[in-house]
Structure 1
Amino acid sequence: MLLRSLLLILLGCGSVVLLFLAAIWLGQSRLIFRPAKDEPIPESLLAYQPAEVWIALQPQAVRSPRLQAWWFPNQGVTPWTVLYLHGIQGRWVDTEDRLLQLLSLGLSVLVLQYRGYGRSSGPFPNEQRVCADAEAAVAYLAKEHAIPSDRLLVYGHSLGGAIAAELANRQPKLAGLILEGSFSSMRAMTQYRQRFAWFPNWLLHQRFDTLAKVRQSSVPVLILHGEADTEVPALMSEALFLAAAGPKQLCRIPDGGHNDLPKLAGDRYRQAFQRFLDLVAARSRA
């Protein structure tokens, strides 16, 4: 009788553990992505007359899931276009100053909303899906605006940096890669965030291994990070810089946080970006 009771207790405990692990496995992406609702564009950006565009994920399908994006055409002298990939929330308040800096440099910018963000359709995002979304944006720019990958800069902020690094591996002819406030890997982030330090590595399938991706890529990369960033430590950008295989530049901003670099750094941010544009231009002429 006692043995039977013990077996029932062990079976019950085992079932609870298995259910817990299954919940973590299945709900992992919901711990990472926090899609923002559709928001109006800030007035400061409306001056650039952006156009709302839609990107079909399955162009041949009758009812293809579609991604919402905003196209900011610019009449500047620069030949470069930027594909901007936002972080976990994708709010305009976190993006506005960054876009204003890019547009002031004469760059055209496509701001992508991953599936589940803004008014984009499709199931809840995960690593595989958002990387496919970024590839669809590259295809859209090539088809609709005749922008080849060697004239395209991919800019990823925070989580968007991991997506951008993956895209640079899939699109090795990209003109350049910009990583701002990006982490080295999701595993490193679980260790940095003490409340997730218990998370077993074998259970982590949303890996976002930015460090491995920059090691494999020869695309020129600019890495920006605020030294006072409490969301993602600046040491992770140093690790990315050391690992990057291609031409690379690193700009660390004293007192810079996770979302305020363009506004706080001002001219220094702009100068770092201009130096990178010069590097990209020189490489394209070589």
Structure 2
Amino acid sequence: MSIIRINWKRLLILFATIFLLIQIIGSFFFYELAVKRGPKDFLQNNADLEVSDQTMDLFLNGDWIAWVNAQQFEQLTLTSRDGLKLSGYFLPASKPTNKLAIFPHGYLGHAKQMGLFGQYYHNDLGYNIFMPDARGHGKSGGNYYGFGWPDRLDLIDWTNLLVNKLGPDTKVAYHGLSMGAATVLMASGEEELPRQVKAIIADSPYASVYQLFEYQMNRMFKLPAFPLLDSTSLLTKIRAGYSFREASARNEVEKTTVPILYIHGESDTFVPTKLTKDLFKHTSSATELLLVPNANHGESFALAQDKYKMTIKHFLNKYVE
């Protein structure tokens, strides 16, 4: 009778090696999937991003598109702190004013899409407006997406550039959507945030990049966050200079002094509404919250345009006028 002897040491080494290979391969897969610049086919036909016919019609056929195309924007450029050439579009107000609105856009978007909001600020509220392409998007350089974290410093640098252009008495409002909303919140608590920033509007933000990916990994792939998300975060730190856990909007709003208006659709399944409620709860400055019934991700403006406009107008009148 033969006796099979198991070499537990070799077996453990084999299992550890396999586990390590899975983490490395998985990390590169998810980095390529979400962080590296390029098309993201996995978002096509994603049920969590489905919007109403009313919203789609506004996005594709709204009069804001013709308005954007008719404007004579001044294209501005900025070299980021890590050497990327960034691009953005400035439009002066019809009448001289010291008010300026800056509009960071969402993931996979580009600057001029924020004309959806910029038209109202420019035509009705009388603001100078500026719409930047985030790093990795549009005409800006970069081979990765920052999900708001490196972008927060770009936003601060854009703000300083524009204040130098318009004058020290400029009063600035930030209005960001989705990733752009996370960007403005991530900038909100920075010590170097220009004093000219008087108000922040965050539409459909997430509290941290780790928290967002944790939710999406479970929802889209039925996978737990640990350890694969942590190893992807490490790879992102190496290749893009930031980790998912440090990219936290919540940590910033806990120390901000700038008033913040949060907006979120109550039916958002891509970035859950509870994330904005958590941010609202932990914000240290004056804060307001607008929740829009039946609105999915990023469609609050389309479904409740009058309420949306009235809310931001009152908020801005309180803190920017």
Q: Deviations over 1:188-218 (max 9, x none)?
A: 3244332365112782422332222111111
Q: Deviations over 1:113-149 (max 9, x none)?
A: 122211212342336532332222122212333356x
Structure 1 counterpart of 2:289: 250
Any conservation in 1 of the 2:103–2:176 contact (CA below 8 Å)?
yes
Match among 88, 105, 120 for residue 107 of structure 2: 88
Partner SS, residue 225 of structure 2: coil
Structure 1 counterpart of 2:17: 15
Structure 1 counterpart of 2:303: 264
1:119 alignment partner AA = K
User: Which is worse superposed, 125-134 or 220-229?
Assistant: 125-134
Match among 190, 202, 205 for residue 179 of structure 1: 202
Any conservation in 2 of the 1:34–1:88 contact (CA below 8 Å)?
no
Shift of 1:259: 2.3
2:181 aligned with 1:158: no
Shift of 1:34: 6.9
1:129 alignment partner AA = P
Shift of 1:3: 4.8
Structure 1 unpaired stretches of 5+:
none
Any conservation in 1 of the 2:160–2:194 contact (CA below 8 Å)?
no
Q: Deviations over 1:79-129 (max 9, x none)?
A: 321121112111468634223233332222211112221121234233653
Aligned alpha-carbon RMSD (Å)? 3.1
TM-score, with length taken from structure 2? 0.73
Residues 92 and 257 of structure 1: is their aligned pair in 2 closer, same or farther, counting only changes over 3 Å? farther
Structure 2 counterpart of 1:143: 164
TM-score, with length taken from structure 1? 0.81
Residues 200 and 252 of structure 1: is their aligned pair in 2 closer, same or farther, counting only changes over 3 Å? same
2:136 aligned with 1:116: yes
| Structural mapping, 1:44-59, within 5 Å | 44-57=67-80
Whose relative contact order is higher, 1 or 2, with alpha carbons under 8 Å and at least 6 apart? 2
Structure 1 counterpart of 2:121: 102
Partner SS, residue 262 of structure 1: helix
Name the % identity.
19
Any conservation in 2 of the 1:29–1:126 contact (CA below 8 Å)?
no
Structure 2 counterpart of 1:168: 188
Distance 1:36 1:274 in 2: 36
Distance 2:30 2:167 in 1: 37
Match among 41, 45, 66 for residue 43 of structure 1: 66
Q: Deviations over 1:211-245 (max 9, x none)?
A: 22111111100111111222112222122111111
Partner SS, residue 100 of structure 1: helix
1:228 alignment partner AA = S
2:85 aligned with 1:66: yes
Shift of 1:74: 1.7
1:133 alignment partner AA = D
1:206 alignment partner AA = F
2:244 aligned with 1:206: yes
Structure 2 unpaired stretches of 5+:
40-63, 234-242
Distance 1:33 1:166 in 2: 18
